[in-house]
Amino acid sequence: MEMSNNLSTFYTLQGKNERIKKFPLPRQYANMSRYFVGIFLILVPFSMIPELMKLGEWGFWLSIPITALIGWVYVMMEIVGDYSENPFQGMANDIPMLSLCRVIEIDLREMLGEKDLPPPIQAKNDILM
């Protein structure tokens, strides 16, 4: 009876995980955030130049690298957000599902008393899959 309950719970959790993986994320968010970052990057220089001109004549030229740095930060946040939308695609920064499954397999085999255990997944080029 307990095994049947465990299997039922397992299938329920597996179904939930599959729904998470296959759930379509709203594209409006991704598209609109890209537009908003672009608008922000266009408007940043107009707010930086007047403030930095208070520092003197070289404030105008200082606004260029500061604006570029601020723009880079926001573009990187947008890119990281895009990659984080699909954490199960098998890319370098995704969840290492193969490694997690192997650890679970080793733990289960140890509980069953098996001696011939598979080796854990090793990182290749500093990437754990």
Q: Which stretch of 36-50, 59-73, 113-127 has the lowest confidence by average pLDDT?
A: 113-127
pLDDT at 16: 83
Is this prediction's pTM over 0.75? no
* Three-class SS state of 92: coil
Tell which residue, 46, 35, 96, has the closest CA to residue 70. 46
- The CA-atom distances, in angstroms, between 98 and each of 9, 87, 101, 119 are 22, 13, 5, 12
* Mean pLDDT, rounded, for 43-63: 87
Question: Residue 76, SS3?
Answer: helix
CB distance 67 to 50 below 8 Å: no
Q: How high is the pLDDT of residue 25?
A: 66
